[in-house]
Amino acid sequence: MQRKQWDLAFLAAPEEVAALRRVLRIHLGIWGLHDITDAAQLCMSELVANVIKHVGQGTPATLEVSLKGTHLRIAVNDPDTRALPTLVAAATDSEAGRGMALIDAVADRWGVQVHGDRKVTWCELATGLTSPNGHVGGAGVTRAEAVLDVYTTARPPRERSSSRLSVALAEEAAIDVITDFLHWLRAHGSDPDEALDRAQTRFEAEVAGTT
């Protein structure tokens, strides 16, 4: 799965935060990074809140989301190079200093970079990926991808893609694989419907066990 950086320009305002959280959740879902979505949304919200509070409402800013190695990187650009975020040892009843303290507690690392007329405040979270374009679905996903690679290689050359399968093409290939296995089961005297029911039950149990 290719996970390319995406950017989103916005105006720093409280009403924008909910929309940014929704967009981030959608993208992380597409990337298969469901397990860290809540932490990523929290960190992104605090980065944006930091701009609203210390730079000013209505400030033009940009959200950047990418992978740096196997870490998810969330960065917010703003034009104020003077208001640099710092980690404050805030008391539990204090409002000041909580934002970066939350990010420091949730993220693996964070920092600030100044580039001429802008600054970038960023944080990174571990994804559980073994490679930037890999998966976090465990052994089952790894085995399925191996089967898909073999299956698509066996297709006529005109049906192969010159690059790695997109998610849509992989879905079609997966359906082809399932269909062929159902034919195989029927040919060997097994009940395809029963096999599907058992597979669905096992899948739901494994998904429930990871949530």
DSSP annotation string for 29-75: HHTT-GGGHHHHHHHHHHHHHHHHHHT-TTEEEEEEEEEETTEEEEE
Q: What pTM was estimated for this model as a whole?
A: 0.65
Q: What is the pLDDT of residue 14?
A: 95
* Per-residue pLDDT tens over the stretch 61-113: 999 999 999 999 999 999 998 878 776 654 444 454 567 889 999 999 999 99
Given a cut of 50, whether residue 165 has pLDDT beyond it is no
Mean pLDDT of 165-175: 69
Output the pLDDT for position 143. 63
pLDDT(160) > 60: no
**If pLDDT is split at 50, 70 and 90, which confidence band does 60 have?**
very high
Please, are residues 86 and 76 in contact by the beta-carbon 8 Å criterion? no
What is the H or E stretch that residue 155 is in?
none
Instruction: Give the rounded distance of the alpha carbon of 16 from its chain centre.
Output: 20
Average pLDDT of 122-138?
84
- pLDDT category at 30 given cuts 50, 70, 90 is confident
Which carries the bigger pLDDT value, residue 22 or residue 162?
Answer: 22
> What pLDDT is attached to residue 23?
95
Instruction: Tokens 């009843």: give the residue.
Output: 93
pLDDT attached to residue 74: 98
Strand order in the sheet with 59-68: 6-12, 59-68, 71-78, 118-126, 109-115
Nearest to 33 by CA among 77, 76, 73, 64: 73
* pLDDT tier for residue 32 given thresholds of 50, 70 and 90: confident
pLDDT at 206 over 50: yes
Predicted confidence at residue 154, as pLDDT, reads 61
Coil/strand/helix, residue 27: helix
Distance CA 91, CA 192 (A): 62
Take residue 51 and report the two structure tokens written for it.
Answer: 């701009």
Residue-level pLDDT at 159? 45
Question: Residue 118 contacts by C-beta under 8 Å, 6 or more apart in sequence?
Answer: 77, 78, 79, 81
Give the Cα separation of 12 and 17 in Å (integer).
8
